Amino acid sequence: MKKYIFILLLTSFAFGQQTPASKQTKSILILGGKAHIGNGTIIENSLIYIKDGKIAGIYDGTMVKPAKHDTVINASGKEIYPGFISPNATLGLVEIDAVKASDDESEMGEMNPHIRSIVAYNAESGLVEAARPNGILIAQITPRGGRISGTSSIVQLDAWNWEDAIIKENDGIHLNWPRSYSQTGWWAEPGGIQPNKKYDEQTTEIQNFFNNAKAYAASNVTVKDIPYEAMKGLENGTKTLFIHADGEKEIIDAILFKKKNNIQKMTIVGGYYAYKNAPLLLENNVSVLLRRVHDLPILEDEDVNLPFKNAKLLSDAGVLVGLENMGDMERMQVRNLPFYAGTCVAWGMDKEKALQLITSNSAKILGIDSNYGTLESGKSATLFISEGDALDMKTNKVTTAFIDGRQISLESHQTELYERYKEKFQSGKVTE
């Protein structure tokens, strides 16, 4: 009996990521660009010095004479931004949704705080490569599934492997809060809304798990329990508890849960109705990573523009808010993150405040603001230059990008195809 071996080459795997850039060895001066600092301020004619992977200085070019540097980049007429940050992302965990072998975003079981998404992160994912040309240079790699999905980590998007990519390892634990209601039907024919009869039972299960973890941490056991070990850090703020919840009741219950369990740092992820609880969020120092802006309302009788206004409502109330992108085709959609912020501008938010939604605010929420999120002296030189407004899909064109002072490649499978077919059409060898 003959045996045949078939080899399937998947397009996304066939085109590997560009070779990561080498460590910065020469000093760089970026001259004349309009620098958006990321904290609400702008320097119209800036001088930015980059040395040893850090911003060695940033000045108003009308006040300071530029010093000599090994490399000079003329950014006159262009815009300079801090690298954009994508929280709650599954980049590098799934390559092709329809190919099960390339999907490593979740594990079996309900309580999985010990599942570390970072060890499954594929730094050579084509989707990582596709996000960088729109200025997304940092991401929080986050697991999915279960009641407690696992532990996330934060990476920069130009690396050989996950060890090279790490910015902050094991930054937080992700808890999917139960819904107090359920909706019948399906997306094309939604049915009615009915109470979740198991809501109290499900929240009790969460509390019991936290009680057991607390008791374990206080004991002197000699045999380690890996899930309970992973819970350590929530009590002293070295880890953040990210609670995924959208409903008004769920968010209130999550805040009460934080107080009861003395959780030091907590963030609501999703937060569709968080604006209704803004005073409570502010009082308890709870931040929000707001669900995808380009979305439909949850209920059919709501303001159709509520998803566009949500960030401004929270920001105006004083809540620390960033943007995330969980949902359908979320890995492919990460590259649209800056345009979500742009939509917030179209619905009344100040442009520099909207920029903070994907730079300094997200950096604060993720606990990396000491080194990322703004263009400031002493911080990482993770930034990019665009020929236009980076929050506007019509004008944004990233020409140069740096991660920790390393000038990275902006090529991708898409740019290869563009150059290929541009040459074909320019040559006139096109048949109808």
Which CATH number do you get for residue 49?
2.30.40.10
Whether residues 74 and 113 share a domain: the answer is no
Residue 285 included in any domain: yes
Instruction: Give the H or E element holding residue 419.
Output: helix 413-427
CB 327 within 8 A of CB 291: yes
CATH number of the structural domain spanning residue 338:
3.20.20.140
What does the alpha-carbon distance between residue 354 and residue 352 come to, in Å, rounded to a whole number?
5
What does the alpha-carbon distance between residue 227 and residue 210 come to, in Å, rounded to a whole number?
11
What does the alpha-carbon distance between residue 343 and residue 354 come to, in Å, rounded to a whole number?
9
Structure tokens at 302: 């709501």
Residue 10 included in any domain: no
356, 371, 386 — which closes off a domain?
371
Whether residues 89 and 73 share a domain: the answer is no
Residue 425 included in any domain: no
- Quote the pLDDT of residue 428: 67
Q: Which domain holds residue 76?
A: 19-83+373-410
- Quote the pLDDT of residue 6: 41
Whether residues 42 and 139 share a domain: the answer is no
Whether residues 366 and 379 share a domain: the answer is no
Nearest to 267 by CA among 333, 211, 319, 231: 319
111 DSSP assignment? B
Whether residues 60 and 125 share a domain: the answer is no
- The total of other beta-carbon atoms located within 10 Å of residue 252's CB is 16
Whether residues 254 and 335 share a domain: the answer is yes
Q: How confident is the model over 197-249, as pLDDT tens digits?
A: 999 999 999 999 999 999 999 998 888 999 999 999 999 999 999 999 999 99
Query: What is the secondary structure of 272-330 as a DSSP string?
Result: TTGGGGHHHHHHTT-EEEEPPSS---SSTTS-TTHHHHHHHHHHHTT--EEE---STTH
Whether residues 136 and 53 share a domain: the answer is no
Whether residues 203 and 248 share a domain: the answer is yes
Domain count, the chain: 2
Residue 432 included in any domain: no
Residue 355 included in any domain: yes
With a cut of 70, which residues of the chain have pLDDT below it? 1-17, 187-188, 190, 428-432
Whether residues 222 and 98 share a domain: the answer is yes
What does the alpha-carbon distance between residue 196 and residue 189 come to, in Å, rounded to a whole number?
20
Whether residues 236 and 97 share a domain: the answer is yes
- Quote the pLDDT of residue 13: 44
Whether residues 175 and 282 share a domain: the answer is yes
What does the alpha-carbon distance between residue 231 and residue 240 come to, in Å, rounded to a whole number?
10
Residue 193 included in any domain: yes
Residue 185, phi-psi category: left (phi > 0), alpha (psi -120 to 50), beta (remainder): left
Whether residues 246 and 302 share a domain: the answer is yes
Residue 431 included in any domain: no
Residue 2 included in any domain: no
